[in-house]
Amino acid sequence: MTSLRQTSLFSFEEWIKDTEWDDRLQAILDAVPLDPALSALPKPARTGRPETHDRALIIRAYVAKAVEQIPTTEALRARLRRDPVFRWIVGYRGKSDIPSAATFSRLFDQLSQGTSLQAVHAQQVETARQHQVVSTDDAAYDASDIPGYEKTRRHADAQDPERASWGMKTGPKGQKYRWFGYKLHLAVAAGSLFPVAAVTTTAKMHDVNMARPLVKMTTDREMGEKTAIFDAGYDQATLYQDLQAQGLVPIIPLNRHGGEPPEGRDGLGRPICSMGYTLTLAGYDATTKTQKFRCPHAAGHVDCPMGMAWCSASNYGYVQKIAIADDPREVGRVVRGTRTWDALYDLRSSVERAFSYLKEQLNLRTVRVRGRRKVHTHNLFAVIALAASVLASAV
């Protein structure tokens, strides 16, 4: 892949629509680097029956399974047997070359026990970064439900992080949704569908508890190096402090859970004057890391019946300076209600659209394995397929 261009949601969707399925599948599979996976897998045993199957082709087949939305491994093997074009694209030349179901299962187990697929995804992220396929500045984060392929247990063991558990999410209109299974926590390069980090947990894990490890994984891969964008479910004071300490700008809506803003602040965390008007943002001092606000009447934004002399004798009007370090949750480097904040938060739709694509087009919800490690392996094949799709569309 020698020449790549930066992609957008529109260009990616156009590529999906305009490319024939066989050319698209070939391009996607070719965008999956296999050497990192093969290097991380344990070496074949020197004793006993030697391995006769090609590990690389099985990994390609699992990625193709996600792309073609094939529900089970047996259905994948059946497709390989009956469809010569599909078989050829994956890399098998004859029906007799297709491994047994047990061979597929053994390699899946090996992948689940190690970091082979994580290495593949990390290499894809590095390729996207080096070739500037996506922006490295901003990352959008979220988590989504992954129903388990297991018998539901009314009283699931809440202390076992490797097993399915009950989770609950609240919808935009306050509706509650419960499921039994797992969660996929995802970071996406904002403005694209490109996934840059993924972690699977049991469903009971609170989203905000995985925010820090997910951000660390993202920044370790030199992505999302300026802005971290979350929804209101991640509105936790200590998260702002931690992100601020890493030099990141948090973009998170306030969630006051029906309560009132603290005295002297409006609903977006901005200071208000004694007449109840929101002060006007007047600038940022990078030396002291403070935001400056001034009288909105003096700025010409409101017509205060008291004028501005009531608050200040200065012709500039009343001024209030707020150090970000004092309360980064209320007032941050980018202030809520500004065009900059709104434009950055709009980029959060990237991770929502990535989840939608993973679920509707890449088999994410078709889980046929049990246990967190195996479910994570299943999830990673979908994530790798999405990353490969974005890379392929950039050629």
Q: What is the model's pLDDT at position 240?
A: 98
Assess whether pLDDT exceeds 70 at residue 158. no
Assess whether pLDDT exceeds 80 at residue 46. no
The share of the chain scoring above pLDDT 70, in percent, equals 94
Q: What's the distance, Cα to Cα, between the start and end of the chain in Å?
A: 7
Assess whether pLDDT exceeds 70 at residue 26. yes
In a domain, 182, yes or no: yes
Reading phi first (left if > 0) and then psi (alpha if -120 to 50, else beta), residue 69 is in left
Q: Which residues lie closer than 8 Å to 150 by C-beta, 6 or more apart?
A: 164, 180, 181, 370
Q: What is the model's pLDDT at position 51?
A: 64
Over residues 318-327, the mean pLDDT reads: 95
Please, which pLDDT band fits residue 156 given cuts at 50, 70 and 90?
Answer: low
In a domain, 358, yes or no: yes
Per the CB < 8 A criterion, the answer to whether 40 and 119 are in contact is yes
Instruction: Determine the 3-state secondary structure of 127 from DSSP.
Output: helix
Please, which pLDDT band fits residue 15 given cuts at 50, 70 and 90?
Answer: confident
Q: Tell me the pLDDT tens digit for each residue of 275-291.
A: 999 999 999 999 999 99
What is the Cα–Cα distance from 159 to 271, expressed in whole angstroms?
A: 43
Per the CB < 8 A criterion, the answer to whether 265 and 272 are in contact is yes
Which whole-number Å values give the CA distances from 78 to 30, 95, 265, in the listed order?
Answer: 22, 10, 63
In a domain, 326, yes or no: no
In a domain, 214, yes or no: yes
Residue range of the domain that includes 199: 133-254+346-372
Q: Among 124-133, 167-176, 383-392, name the one with the lowest average pLDDT.
A: 167-176
In a domain, 87, yes or no: no
Q: Among 109-123, 139-153, 195-209, 228-242, name the one with the lowest average pLDDT.
A: 139-153
Q: What is the model's pLDDT at position 6?
A: 64
Q: Tell me the pLDDT tens digit for each residue of 217-266.
A: 999 999 999 999 999 999 999 999 999 999 999 999 999 988 999 999 99
Q: What is the model's pLDDT at position 3?
A: 54
Please, which pLDDT band fits residue 28 given cuts at 50, 70 and 90?
Answer: very high
Q: What is the model's pLDDT at position 1?
A: 42
Which whole-number Å values give the CA distances from 23 to 75, 105, 120, 162, 371, in the listed order?
Answer: 22, 28, 22, 39, 35
In a domain, 325, yes or no: no
Instruction: Determine the 3-state secondary structure of 112 from DSSP.
Output: helix
Over residues 331-347, the mean pLDDT reads: 98
Please, which pLDDT band fits residue 147 given cuts at 50, 70 and 90?
Answer: very high
Domain count, the chain: 1
25: which 2 tokens? 């599948």
Assess whether pLDDT exceeds 90 at residue 151. no
Beta bridge partners of 187: 141, 197
Assess whether pLDDT exceeds 90 at residue 153. no
Q: Tell me the pLDDT tens digit for each residue of 77-133.
A: 999 999 999 999 999 999 999 999 999 999 999 999 999 999 999 999 999 999 999
Helix (H) or strand (E) holding 143: strand 138-147
In a domain, 193, yes or no: yes
Per the CB < 8 A criterion, the answer to whether 218 and 129 are in contact is no
Tally the C-alpha atoms within 13 A of residue 311's C-alpha that lie toward its C-beta: 23
In 3D space, the residue among 241, 146, 245 whose CA is nearest the CA of residue 201 turns out to be 146
How much is the pTM? 0.93
CATH code of residue 219: 3.30.420
In a domain, 32, yes or no: no
Residue 186 CB-density burial (10 A; 0-12 exposed, 13-18 middle, 19+ buried): buried
